[in-house]
Amino acid sequence: MNKPDWVLESASGLVCGLSYLESPHCDERPAGCAPDLLVIHAISLPEGEFGGDDVTDLFLGRLDVGSHPDYAGLQDLQVAAHFFIRRDGSVLQFVPVHRRAWHAGISEYRGRSRVNDFSVGVELEGCDDQIFEDDQYQALVW
């Protein structure tokens, strides 16, 4: 994987060079609250399966929860990360970084509650029992 030419445009909160798919699962950060934490998650839908569009559909609020038995609990779930890194290292952006993505739920970090307020969320396409791909790690560090 070659080093990408990604540049964060501060006015829009978007990274130039990435595909942007606008998620409705976000809102404004509290006044004066800038992100200072990176939260890295793993996700696959269905669990352990990679390469489909179901994660994207979940983040965009259009997942057909009837399409798989495991999705019943996802009905009415409103969730999105700022970025999603696929197994091949390609990156999609769903929420501008200056906005609050709904990725961390009810959470706390080092005594600070409401982690979504001060974090940027990155989802790696994967699961707990499989290693991530080198291309994903490369995308994550750039």
Residues labelled as active-site residues = 123
Task: Measure CA 83 to chain center.
Answer: 4
- Contacts of residue 60, Cβ cutoff 8 Å, sequence gap at least 6: 21, 22, 23, 24, 80, 94
Which two tokens mark 93? 């952006």
Say if residues 130 and 46 touch (Cβ distance below 8 Å). Answer: no
Strand order in the sheet with 83-85: 19-20, 91-93, 83-85, 119-125, 37-43
Amino acid at 53: D
